[in-house]
Amino acid sequence: MNVTDQERFAKMFREWGAKVMVLENPPKNIDPYTLEDISTPGEPEFVYVGTFGGDEPVEIILDAARRLPHIKFYILGDTGLARREWLENPPSNVIFTGYITKDTYWNRLRSARALIVLTTHAHSLLGGAMDGLYIDKPVIVSDQPTLREYFTKGAVLVPNTSDGIVNGIQEILNNEEYYKQGIRELRGEVETRWQNNFQQLKSIIWSDGR
């Protein structure tokens, strides 16, 4: 049995006549209700989760921030990997946090109205977006095939443009409860699917072993 984390790979294996099953990464055991809200009261905050990788169009976040001065943006990631021009003169409502971990990381995510996670890769299932799922936090993600297939609820899919970010943020603010409910429902569906598929894999392993 071959195990893969995306249906597109499973399709390829089936075309080869090979046995395959889809098993995503296991859900993280994070209780969102034990996290601390560290947001500033009355000030909408959005968090960009990334690593400053080559597939991340961070510049469109900065452009969007200039157009939305009433929104505070936290940009996560090791600033040693960021472009110098991003750090030298950012909009006043943008904060580069540097690399943060553990409770500092999860509390920052918990305090956002939504997470923003972007990629130019068509088939990247973004870890930052998955972290939003684990704590019932709506996400704004790039409108890419794999993300579109996975985030069927609780997410606004946007083009990688500053207009896309501005419109995605406005959509979240206008319909926040809808997206909160959607991401909670999606989390439950993902966890149930993973448990069912993992039990299936265990059954295959034990039956083959006998």
pLDDT above 70: percentage of residues in the chain: 99
- Between strands 20-22 and 139-142, the pairing is unpaired
Tell me the pLDDT tens digit for each residue of 2-36: 998 888 888 999 999 999 988 888 888 888 888 99
| Spatial distance between the Cα atoms of 165 and 160, rounded to a whole number of angstroms | 8
- What would the two tokens of residue 185 be? 């429902």
Domain annotation covers residue 27:
no
Q: Is residue 128 part of a domain?
A: yes
Position 63 in a domain: yes
> How far, rounded to the nearest angstrom, does the alpha carbon of residue 172 sit from its chain's CA centroid?
15
Residue 124 belongs to a domain: yes
Predicted confidence at residue 32, as pLDDT, reads: 80
Residue 132 lies in domain: 36-205
Structural domain count, the chain: 1
Tell me, yes or no, whether 148 lies in a domain: yes
**Is 84 a domain residue?**
yes
Q: Is 43 exposed, middle or buried (0-12, 13-18, 19+ CB in 10 A)?
A: exposed
For residue 8, being part of any structural domain is answered with no
* Residue pLDDT, tens place only, 49-79: 999 999 999 999 999 999 999 999 999 999 9
- Provide mean pLDDT across the span 113-138: 95
What pLDDT sits at residue 44? 96
**CA-wise closest residue to 168 among 158, 181, 153:** 158
Q: CATH number for the domain including 179? A: 3.40.50.2000
113, part of any domain:
yes
Does pTM surpass 0.95? no
Contact 117, 139 (CB under 8 A): yes
Residue 18 in 3-state DSSP?
coil
Tokens standing for residue 111? 């305090």
Distance (Å, rounded) from C-alpha 79 to C-alpha 96? 7
